[in-house]
């Protein structure tokens, strides 16, 4: 196995850091790796907010509700940035609708994450540890204020970086056979599907308590109704423990909460300046329709 493959397959998210700053030139190398990541049309529709001041790190950790973040000396908040391109287009007398259309956002989101992950891998290669922080999305409004993000710049995820206090464990994944399909998608038989997840999460479960069972049942009811909730609760009660699917969707990333939050999340994106028109509003003008790219999707290979 070469060094790159070793690094990719033996990494683990790091949540305990040494009390040691990341030197400026090291941080710079990470950033250079990030901005050289592939990006649709070579447009780089993202901005990265580098956070090193202890007060700001505490604030970010508080917003994300994860105390361990305070120990990481360097944080990068990755944002889709459809604002800088808008300014550039305006200054260059070019048309622009990327902050009002779904397709550019879809690509920008991918570009942003790809940039982040190049930095994550680069960090690992330099002996640093890192962990992604997802709740940056839920805290979009506060983080936009904190980082003074203009409209059409929205935080997607952040990465906490530092020197690892100990080597993070390598966590099991689904086997390739469970995620890769030759040529066409094929459903795994139920037994094989259950076996694949059982192998991945071997040894992880939680004993059922009355309080957690009630919370679990509430989530099931809120997402799929009372009859379903009773069935799920009975299964957990009989087993005497929650399995990982029940823990993840019933008690961690609660299925009913996710449904309730969706309108809020869409509202936050709108408030952040990304309001997509409805299908009707989005109809091209007569002149535009004549040039509609129905034949093939737009492709650009800017160098
Ligand atoms: C988009 C994303 C968001 C994540 N958010 C968090 C987080 O908020 N807190 C955390 O401790 N880990 C977070 N993680 C790390 C995952 O928990 C971790 O990657 C997963 O459990 C697999 O473990 P491993 O990275 O050690 O292999 C996140 C990872 C990703 C990709």
Report which of 85, 49, 83, 97 is spatially closest to residue 152, judged by C-alpha positions.
83
Q: What is the pLDDT of residue 1?
A: 86
**Residue 113 φ/ψ, nearest 5 degrees:** -70, -35
In tens, the pLDDT along 236-266 reads 999 999 999 999 999 999 999 999 999 999 9
Q: Are strands 241-242 and 206-207 parallel, antiparallel or unpaired?
A: antiparallel
Domains of the chain, by residue range, sit at 3-162, 176-263
Nearest ligand 1 atom to alpha carbon 168: 26
C-alpha span between 34 and 46 (Å, rounded) = 11
Nearest CA to ligand 1 atom 6: 133
Q: How far is CA 29 from CA 24, 25, 158, 181, 268, in A?
A: 9, 6, 18, 36, 33
Asked whether 132 lines ligand 1 (CB < 6 A), one says: yes
Q: Check if 62 has its Cβ closer than 6 Å to any atom of ligand 1.
A: no
pLDDT tens per residue across all 303 residues of the chain: 899 999 999 999 999 999 999 999 999 999 999 999 999 999 999 999 999 999 999 999 999 999 999 999 999 999 999 999 999 999 999 999 999 999 999 999 999 999 999 999 999 999 999 999 999 999 999 999 999 999 999 999 999 999 999 999 999 999 999 999 999 999 999 999 999 999 999 999 999 999 999 999 999 999 999 999 999 999 999 999 999 999 999 999 999 999 999 999 999 999 999 988 766 655 555 655 555 555 566 776 665
Q: How far is CA 189 from the centre of its chain?
A: 29
CATH architecture of the domain covering 3-162? 3-Layer(aba) Sandwich (3.40)
Pick the atom of ligand 1 nearest to 135's CA: 8
CA distances from 277 to 111, 263, 269 (A): 22, 16, 13
Q: Which atom of ligand 1 is nearest to the CA of 171?
A: 27
The Å distance, Cα 12 to ligand 1 centre, comes to 9
Residue nearest to atom 30 of ligand 1 (CA): 132
Residue to probe by mutation, ligand 1, list 13, 64, 253, most atoms within 8 Å of CB: 13
Ligand 1: distance of its center to the CA of 230 in Å?
A: 31
At 276 the pLDDT is 80
Helices and strands: H and E segment counts in the chain: 13, 6
Helix axes 24-35, 102-125, angle to 10 degrees: 140
Q: Contact 88/166 with Cβ under 8 angstroms?
A: no
Distance CA 274, CA 184 (A): 35
Sheet holding 129-133, edge to edge: 46-51, 74-81, 153-162, 129-133
Instruction: Write the residue with the smallest CA distance to atom 9 of ligand 1.
Output: 133
**Burial (CB count within 10 angstroms: exposed 0-12, middle 13-18, buried 19+), residue 147:** middle
CA nearest to 85, candidates 121, 114, 43: 43
């Amino acid at each position: 196995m070469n060094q790159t493959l070793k690094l990719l397959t033996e990494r683990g998210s790091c949540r305990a850091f040494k009390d040691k700053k990341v030197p400026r030139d090291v941080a710079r190398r990470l950033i250079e790796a990030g901005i050289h990541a592939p990006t649709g049309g070579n447009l780089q529709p993202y901005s990265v907010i580098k956070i090193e001041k202890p007060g700001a790190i505490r604030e970010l950790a508080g917003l994300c509700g994860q105390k361990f973040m305070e120990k990481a000396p360097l944080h990068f908040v990755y944002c889709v940035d459809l604002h800088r391109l808008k300014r550039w287009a305006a200054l260059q007398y070019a048309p622009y609708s990327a902050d009002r259309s779904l397709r550019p956002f879809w690509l920008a989101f991918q570009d942003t994450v790809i940039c982040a992950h190049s930095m994550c891998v680069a960090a690992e290669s330099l002996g640093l540890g890192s962990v992604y922080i997802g709740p940056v999305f839920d805290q979009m409004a506060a983080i936009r204020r904190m980082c003074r993000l203009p409209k059409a710049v929205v935080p997607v995820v952040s990465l906490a970086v530092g020197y690892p206090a100990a080597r993070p464990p390598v966590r099991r994944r689904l086997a390739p056979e469970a995620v890769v399909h030759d040529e066409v998608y094929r459903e795994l038989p139920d037994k094989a599907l259950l076996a694949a997840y059982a192998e991945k999460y071997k040894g992880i479960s939680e004993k059922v308590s009355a309080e957690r069972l009630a919370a679990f049942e509430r989530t099931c009811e809120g997402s799929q109704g009372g009859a379903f909730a009773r069935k799920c609760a009975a299964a957990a009660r009989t087993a005497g423990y929650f399995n990982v699917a029940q823990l993840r969707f019933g008690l961690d990333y609660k299925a009913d909460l996710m449904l309730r939050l969706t309108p809020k999340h869409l509202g936050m994106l709108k408030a952040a300046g990304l309001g997509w028109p409805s299908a009707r509003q989005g109809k091209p003008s007569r002149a535009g329709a004549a040039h509609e790219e129905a034949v093939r999707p737009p492709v650009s290979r800017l160098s």
